[in-house]
Amino acid sequence: MKVSLNGSIIENEEAAIRAETDGLFYGAGCFETFKSYRGKFLHLDRHLHRLNDAVSYLTGQKAGFFTEEQVRLEITELLKANQLSEDHARIRIQVSLGERGGYSLPDANEPSFITLITSDEVALKAAGPLRLVSVNTTVVPSSCRPTQLKLSNMMHYRQAAIEAKAKGADDALMLTVRDEVAETSIANIFWEKNGTIFTPSATCDILPGITRSILIQMGSESGNRIKEGAFSGSDIEQASQIWICNSLKELVWVSSLNGRPYPTDTPLRHDLLQKFEGYKKEKMA
């Protein structure tokens, strides 16, 4: 597999950076992960806006570091090099601080960061139903880190996923430190009860994903009742159906939560999937 390191396409095993960097020492970096639909993307601009915001947070500068034209060109060249131009592929843009500054911000005049773009093939069919389980690891409060950014230091998500797998589940249901439903280790979460669709609000220390915003927009335009807020674990357990979403898996229904089964073949599921496919066809570019 070939990767793009600071704009140059090289073999994966040849990619190397200095060991003494804040990116390695402190996890001082950020990333975006999304799909290439045969060389087209769904809201690439939103992903890059969030990436630029994250780099600004890490460097203390407010400049736009990545342009859509530049990134699209680099991804297109990488897809071609990996023979993925006509396939569905996973794209990850990883940015790490290349300086060794300890706890200080990088030099304001010359911020140094390393950009790595990778691509690999993803399955065309939708992911199967998931088993969720509650875990002890909570999300990190927004008072401690900007939850709206995809920062590299995400050990709490990793630990939650490890806990879930140890319990025989596919993913973890994570709560806030206030015992409110937040998200899973990899996705935002929705559920339906009595005709209303529920999802945790941004006050629940979630990463408010791009696919999440699409579902809220689609639901509102279709006349669905959508309620964002703070909910307890018992609230979601009383749901009629549950699903998660992110930019790679898109929409995936949950077959069980803490051993309790939930339906995965429902009229709402088919309706949302159909609407999401229509949205993609309209918005992909």
Encode pLDDT of 9-54 as tens digits.
999 999 988 888 888 898 999 999 999 999 999 999 999 999 999 9
Contacts of 271 (CB under 8 A, 6+ apart): 222
Nearest residue to 126 (alpha-carbon basis) of 284, 238, 272:
272
Domain parsing of the chain, residue ranges: 2-121, 130-283
Mean pLDDT confidence for 222-237: 93
> Across all residues in the chain, what is the average pLDDT?
93
Distance CA 253, CA 250 (A): 10
Res 122: pLDDT: 86
Residue 210 reports pLDDT greater than 80 = yes
Contacts of 201 (CB under 8 A, 6+ apart): 228, 229, 230
Res 198: pLDDT: 98
Distance CA 29, CA 152 (A): 5
Identify the H or E element spanning 255.
Answer: strand 250-257
Res 19: pLDDT: 84
Res 63: pLDDT: 75
Res 91: pLDDT: 97
Percent of the chain exceeding pLDDT 90 equals 81
Mean pLDDT confidence for 147-154: 95
Distance CA 190, CA 145 (A): 24
Sign of the CA dihedral running 279, 122, 250, 246: negative
Question: Is the Cβ–Cβ distance between 32 and 210 less than 8 Å?
Answer: no
Res 53: pLDDT: 96
For residue 222, the 8-state DSSP code is T
CATH topology of domain 2-121: D-amino Acid Aminotransferase; Chain A, domain 1 (3.30.470)
Question: Is the Cβ–Cβ distance between 285 and 37 less than 8 Å?
Answer: no
Residue 109 reports pLDDT greater than 80 = no
pLDDT of 159-176, one tens digit each? Answer: 999 999 999 999 999 999
pLDDT band of residue 110 (cuts 50, 70, 90) is low
pLDDT of 50-73, one tens digit each? Answer: 999 999 999 888 878 999 999 999
Question: Is the Cβ–Cβ distance between 54 and 28 less than 8 Å?
Answer: no
Alpha helix stretches (DSSP H) within 142-283: 155-166, 210-221, 233-237, 267-283
Res 108: pLDDT: 59
Which homologous superfamily does the CATH classification assign to the domain defined by 130-283?
D-amino Acid Aminotransferase, subunit A, domain 2 (3.20.10.10)
For residue 176, count CB atoms less than 10 angstroms from its CB and return exposed for 0-12, middle for 13-18, buried for 19 or more: buried
